[in-house]
Amino acid sequence: MIGYVTLGTNDLERAAKFYDAIAKEMGVGRMMDFDSFIAWGAWDGGAGIAATKPFDGKHASVGNGTMVAIQAKDRDQVKKLHEIALANGGSDEGEPGPRGEPDENGMVFYAGYFRDPDGNKLNAFLMDTAA
């Protein structure tokens, strides 16, 4: 259903460094690359992510309550994405770990939270066995 998510940036070069590193870990690259807009993902893959300078020329701002979730393949990748985010100008919003109690099938939500250099909130997550 979702093709891609776009987040505003005030420094496209800085955002590109951050999202290039995240995309590399996810096994994708840039789908589109323009002076004011870059999108990462695969044309025939799942939802992509984009960073853009606002079209109206105004300052990009963070949406309160807005978050982009990146589905990881396993707990190690959740940890790796969190580390990559922090190493590329992001900030910590919650160390990787289980959140909540296991469901009736023994599955638990496992996630690590971070912000990109512009302050946009993201997480890396998966549903995994509680053990």
Euclidean distance between CA atoms 30 and 19, whole angstroms: 9
Structure tokens at 101: 């109690």
Within a domain: 41: yes
Euclidean distance between CA atoms 117 and 53, whole angstroms: 14
Q: Which long-range contacts (CB under 8 A, 24 or more apart) does 10-16 make?
A: 10/53, 10/59, 10/60, 10/118, 11/117, 11/118, 12/36, 12/37, 12/38, 12/51, 12/52, 12/53, 14/89, 14/117, 14/118, 15/51, 15/116, 15/117, 15/118, 16/51
Query: Contact, 4 vs 50, CB < 8 A?
Result: yes
Whether the predicted pLDDT of 131 surpasses 90: no
Within a domain: 59: no
Structure tokens at 83: 């580390």
Q: Which residues contact 101 (CB under 8 A, 6 or more apart)?
A: 108
Within a domain: 49: yes
Within a domain: 60: no
Q: What is the mean pLDDT of residues 111-124?
A: 97
Within a domain: 61: no
CA atoms within 13 A on the CB side of 54: 10
Model confidence pLDDT, tens digit, residues 9-19: 999 999 999 99
Within a domain: 62: no
Q: What pLDDT shows up at residue 45?
A: 87
Within a domain: 38: yes
Q: What pLDDT shows up at residue 109?
A: 96
Whether the predicted pLDDT of 1 surpasses 80: no
- Domain hosting 94: range is 4-54+67-129
Query: At 5, is the secondary structure helix, strand, or coil?
Result: strand
Within a domain: 88: yes
Model confidence pLDDT, tens digit, residues 18-64: 999 999 999 999 999 999 999 999 998 889 999 999 999 999 999 98
How sure is the predictor about 114, in pLDDT bands with cuts at 50, 70 and 90? very high
Q: What is the mean pLDDT of residues 84-101?
A: 97
Q: How many domains are contained in the chain?
A: 1
Query: At 114, is the secondary structure helix, strand, or coil?
Result: strand
Q: What pLDDT shows up at residue 130?
A: 79
CATH number of the structural domain spanning residue 39:
3.10.180.10
